[in-house]
Structures are given as C-alpha cells and as structure tokens.
C-alpha cells in the first residue's frame, strides 16, 4: 500500500496532527510524516512528547518573508511526493506549510485531506495570512474535516459537496487527553494566575507594546495576581522591554505542551490571540479573553466560553479589570479538579479522521487492483 503522508511544520499543527498519525498507524495504515521545519524547536518538543519522529525533515531556514518561506518549501515537498507516491496527503489548518503541502498534492492529483477545514472569520486579512490560506486549502482539498457544525456550514455555503465534508470534532482534544494524565498539578498557594500568549502577525510591535503596557497596569492594580507569559519568539523583545522588570510578571521561553497545559490548568484568567489556546482553554473551563477583533472559534464564543475584547489596549484593560475583580471574589481554581473533570470529556476526532482515510485508501486500493 502506498503511504499516507502528513505534512506539517508548526507547533499547533504537530499538536493536532500527531494524534492522527498515531491513530492511522494503529489502524495499520502506513503513514509518513514530512516536517517542513517552519517552526523548529517549538514543534520538536511536540514530536518528543508523542514519541513520533518525522520521516522527512526540510532544512530549517529561520525567519524570512512569507514568500521566501513558502517558495523554499515547494520544491522539496514536490520532490518528496514524487519519491514517496503517497495515496493521500493530510494537512491541518491554515499555515504556510499546510498550504505548500496542499498545493503540491493538488498539482500531483493526490487526494488532499484537510483537517480543521471551514474555520472562517469572514475578514480576509484576519488572521493574516491564515484566513486566505484556509480558503485556498478548501478549494484544493478532496475531503474536509470540520471541527464544528458552524465550520461545516461555512463549507456547504461555499459550495463544497456535502459528501466530502465530515464533522469529526477537534483533534486538540485528543492531544489534551493524551497529555493531561501525565500533567502535574499543585494545590493552590492562594494567589491568582493570569496566563498570556500573544503572537499574531496582525498585532504589530507598536500595538503589542501598548497591549503589554495595559497588562502591566492590570498587574499594578491587582497585587493578588501573578502573570505567566511564555513568549513566542515574535513577541520576546517587546515583552522583555515592557514587562522585564515588573514584579509578578514571569516571562519565560515557549513551553512544551505538557508544561503549557499545567499552566492552563491553574490559570484563573487567560489572555490570548492564539487559535489553539482558545479551544483548549474553553475545553478546560478557563475564563478566556481573546485579544482579537474577530474569532473563527464561533462555537466556543457562542457558548460563552470566550470573550472577544478587540485589540484596543484601553478596552482590553477595562474588560480584563472587570473580569479580574469578579475572579477575586472567589477562591483561586483547583487545578487538579479541573484536570480530572477534563479527562471525563469526550474526544475521538483523530480516530474518526483515521477511519475515514483508511476506508478511502482501502477502497482505492481495491479499485486499482488488477
């Protein structure tokens, strides 16, 4: 049997795709992983955690323009497709790596399976460039795995054939369920914890600086709160400048997923512009403010699990301040209770995706048999 090839390049893709690689291999479907090294050490930690090594790895190139990053990936991905002749290519989300993998598969007429299909903000440059990349992937994919009914509805409204869309849920929950059992939690020390992540391109350095100044004001106003901020490389310099000498601001390198989940479990409030963190925090029941003007995580927003603050620093301060005041009326969270409760939740998207791919590739093999 020709292998299934999963192409990925960033930390969030690794977190969401590796559960599918595991499920495909458990179903005895030969599966290879091509890692584009769009993110290097951020993604490497996830491979280590899942105990899966990339079969093919493109050379790391460091930061470049979007065009340079994309065009450097295309020839080696195409070469890998020619050498491996996969029966299917799997990509996830809306990164440059997913787009490059999808485009090369499309050019070679290899069926493309797109995970996390149908997310839309409806604003072409938010997130940038992801909203455009995810729409382009919809145009190229043969099968679309939607995480929610809202995402499925977007695809159908855009004219995608219903039989090619499967609403399977979110593999980030499979990752959480794989990792939470080994997470350590500690009893509360009576202090409150604010967890921050910030990395989107559309929040430029000047806006980031002003947002961080607002967050510093929040810390000044609430002495019972500590801030934990694993700094994405894109935000490191400005973060150290604004918060580097602030008492109770704990700045650190990006964490591996297990350490990050441990932080989420004990967080009283999350401030984030990340896509994946919105989903994880909502699932774990952590109060979350989304520092963006729009979000494609509509299901979580409509269930009231997320609050959209916009990106005005003054507005972020006002909303977060009111939230923190409310939180201070109650004892800090019990991280262990949160962890145990999360483990009772449902998951299984990775299995559903693997089953659909296995069924398709076996069917194709039967049809191609002499």
8, β-bridge pairs: 35
Least distance in angstroms from the C-beta of 94 to ligand UDP: 8
Question: Which residue in 56, 72, 156, 255 binds ligand UDP (CB under 6 A)?
Answer: 255
Q: Work out whether 332 is an interface residue with ligand UDP (CB under 6 A).
A: no
**56, containing H or E segment:** strand 56-57
Taking the least distance from each CB to ligand UDP, the nearer of 29 and 180 is 180
177 belongs to the catalytic site:
no
Supply 241's token pair: 């400048």
Taking the least distance from each CB to ligand UDP, the nearer of 129 and 276 is 276
Supply 119's token pair: 């997310």
Which of 13, 44, 45, 130 does the annotation list as catalytic? 130
Q: How many CB atoms sit inside 10 A of residue 337's CB?
A: 12
Full strand arrangement of the beta sheet holding 88-92 = 56-57, 31-35, 4-8, 88-92, 112-117, 143-146, 165-167
Supply 190's token pair: 């009576």
Binding mask 262-281 for ligand UDP (x = CB under 6 A): ------------xxxx--x-
Q: Tell me how far apart the alpha carbons of residues 36 and 102 are, in angstroms, rounded to a whole number.
A: 13
Which of 13, 44, 116, 298 does the annotation list as catalytic? 116
Taking the least distance from each CB to ligand UDP, the nearer of 138 and 274 is 274
Residues in 123-182 at the binding interface with ligand UDP, rule: CB under 6 A: 172
Question: Which residue in 113, 145, 192, 260 binds ligand UDP (CB under 6 A)?
Answer: 260
Which of 57, 61, 199, 216 does the annotation list as catalytic? 199
Which of 201, 250, 303, 315 does the annotation list as catalytic? 201
94 belongs to the catalytic site:
yes
DSSP state of 357: H
Query: What SS3 class is residue 286?
Result: coil
Q: Work out whether 347 is an interface residue with ligand UDP (CB under 6 A).
A: no
| Sequence-separated (6 or more) residues with CB below 8 Å from residue 27 | 354, 355, 358
Supply 334's token pair: 């019990």
Least distance in angstroms from the C-beta of 197 to ligand UDP: 5
Q: How many CB atoms sit inside 10 A of residue 253's CB?
A: 12
13 belongs to the catalytic site:
no
Taking the least distance from each CB to ligand UDP, the nearer of 307 and 318 is 307
Residues in 49-88 at the binding interface with ligand UDP, rule: CB under 6 A: none
Place of tokens 């191609």: 368
Q: Tell me how far apart the alpha carbons of residues 175 and 13 are, in angstroms, rounded to a whole number.
A: 11
**Chain centroid to CA 279:** 8
44 belongs to the catalytic site:
no
280 belongs to the catalytic site:
no
Q: Tell me how far apart the alpha carbons of residues 363 and 349 are, in angstroms, rounded to a whole number.
A: 21
Asked if residue 68 lies in contact with residue 126, where contact means CB atoms within 8 angstroms, the answer is no
Question: Which residue in 177, 199, 356, 364 binds ligand UDP (CB under 6 A)?
Answer: 199
Q: Which stretch binds ligand UDP (CB under 6 A): 10-18, 69-77, 207-215, 295-303?
A: 10-18
Residues that bind ligand UDP (rule: CB under 6 A) add up to a total of 16
Q: Work out whether 43 is an interface residue with ligand UDP (CB under 6 A).
A: no
186 belongs to the catalytic site:
no
| Sequence-separated (6 or more) residues with CB below 8 Å from residue 302 | none
Query: What SS3 class is residue 220?
Result: helix
**Chain centroid to CA 332:** 27
Residues in 222-241 at the binding interface with ligand UDP, rule: CB under 6 A: 230
Binding mask 93-112 for ligand UDP (x = CB under 6 A): --------------------
Question: Which residue in 3, 9, 12, 86 binds ligand UDP (CB under 6 A)?
Answer: 12
Q: Work out whether 193 is an interface residue with ligand UDP (CB under 6 A).
A: no
Residues found near ligand UDP in the complex (CB under 6 A)? 11-12, 15, 172, 197, 199, 230, 254-255, 257, 260, 274-277, 280
Task: List active site positions.
Answer: 94, 116, 130, 199, 201, 232
């Amino acid at each position: 049997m020709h292998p299934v090839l999963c192409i990925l390049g960033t930390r969030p893709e690794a977190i969401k795709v590796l559960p599918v690689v595991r499920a495909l291999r458990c179903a005895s479907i030969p599966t290879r992983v091509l890692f584009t090294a769009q993110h290097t050490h951020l993604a490497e930690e996830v491979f280590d955690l899942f105990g899966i090594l990339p079969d093919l790895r493109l050379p790391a190139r460091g930061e470049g323009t979007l065009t340079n990053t994309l065009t450097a990936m295309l020839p080696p991905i195409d070469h890998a497709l020619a050498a491996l002749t996969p029966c299917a290519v799997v990509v996830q989300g809306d990164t440059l790596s997913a787009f490059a993998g999808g485009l090369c598969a499309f050019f070679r007429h290899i069926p493309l399976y797109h995970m996390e299909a149908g997310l839309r903000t409806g604003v072409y440059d938010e997130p940038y460039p992801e909203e455009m990349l995810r729409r382009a992937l919809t145009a190229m994919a043969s099968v679309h795995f939607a995480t929610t009914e809202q995402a499925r509805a977007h695809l159908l409204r855009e004219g995608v054939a219903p039989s090619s869309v499967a609403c399977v849920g979110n593999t980030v929950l499979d990752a959480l369920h794989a990792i939470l059992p080994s997470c350590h939690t500690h009893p509360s020390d009576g202090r409150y914890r604010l967890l921050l992540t910030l990395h989107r391109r559309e929040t430029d350095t000047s806006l980031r600086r002003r947002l961080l100044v607002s967050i510093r004001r929040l810390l000044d106003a609430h002495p019972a709160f500590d801030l934990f901020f694993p700094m994405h490389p894109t935000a490191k310099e400005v973060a150290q400048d604004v918060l580097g000498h602030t008492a109770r601001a704990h700045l650190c390198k990006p964490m591996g997923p297990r350490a990050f989940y441990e932080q989420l479990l004990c967080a009283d409030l999350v401030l984030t512009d990340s896509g994946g963190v919105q989903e994880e925090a909502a699932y774990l029941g952590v109060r979350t403010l989304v520092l963006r003007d729009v979000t494609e995580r509509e299901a979580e927003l409509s269930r009231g699990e997320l609050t959209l603050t916009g990106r005005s620093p003054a507005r972020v301060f006002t909303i977060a301040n009111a939230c923190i005041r409310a939180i201070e009326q109650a004892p800090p969270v019990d991280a262990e209770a949160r962890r145990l409760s999360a483990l009772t939740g449902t998951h299984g998207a990775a299995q559903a995706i693997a089953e659909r791919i296995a069924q398709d590739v076996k069917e194709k093999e039967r049809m191609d048999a002499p």
